[in-house]
Amino acid sequence: MRPREVKIVEVGPRDGLQNEAAVTLEDRIALVNALSATGLKQIEAGSFVSPKWVPQMAGSDTLFERIERRPGVTYSALTPNLRGFEAAEAAGAQEVAVFGAASEAFSQKNINCSVAESLARFEPVMVAAEEADIRVRGYVSCVLGCPYEGAVAPAKVAEVAHALYAMGCHEISLGDTIGIGTPDKAVAMLEAVAARVPMNALALHFHDTYGQALANVAACLELGVSTIDSAVAGLGGCPYAAGASGNLATEDLVYLLNGLGIRHGVELDALVLAGNQISQRLGRPNGSKVAQALTGR
Ligand code: HMG
Ligand code: MG
Whole-number CA gyration radius for the chain: 17
pLDDT value, residue 286: 92
Instruction: For residue range 73-109, list pLDDT tens digits in order.
Output: 999 999 999 999 999 999 999 999 999 999 999 999 9
175 CA: nearest ligand 1 atom: 57
- The residues that bridge with 42 in the sheet, in sequence order, are 9, 74
80 CA: nearest ligand 1 atom: 34
146 has catalytic annotation: no
* Cα-based angle 155, 236, 217 (whole degrees, multiple of 5): 45
Instruction: For residue range 180-236, list pLDDT tens digits in order.
Output: 999 999 999 999 999 999 999 999 999 999 999 999 999 999 999 999 999 999 998
Indicate if the pLDDT at residue 242 is higher than 80.
Answer: no
List strand residue ranges (DSSP E) for the chain, in order: 7-10, 42-47, 74-78, 95-101, 135-141, 171-176, 202-206, 227-230
Question: Which residue type does 261 have?
Answer: G
pTM value > 0.95: yes
Least confident of 17-21, 31-35, 92-96, 106-110: 17-21
Phi, psi of 78 (to 5 degrees): -80, 135
Which of these, 179, 187, 173, lies nearest to 229 by C-alpha position?
A: 173
pLDDT value, residue 245: 78
113 CA: nearest ligand 1 atom: 3
Task: Report the 10 Å Cβ neighbour count for 72.
Answer: 10
Percent of the chain with pLDDT strictly greater than 90: 93
Distance of CA 89 from the midpoint of ligand 2 (Å): 22
Phi, psi of 71 (to 5 degrees): -60, 140
Per-residue confidence band for 238, with pLDDT thresholds at 50, 70 and 90: low
Distance of CA 58 from the midpoint of ligand 1 (Å): 11
ipTM over 0.90: yes
User: What is the CB < 6 Å shell around ligand 1?
Assistant: 15, 18, 47-50, 52-54, 78, 80-81, 83-84, 99, 110-112, 139, 141, 175, 177, 205, 207, 238-240
Half-sphere exposure of 186 (CA within 13 A, CB side): 28
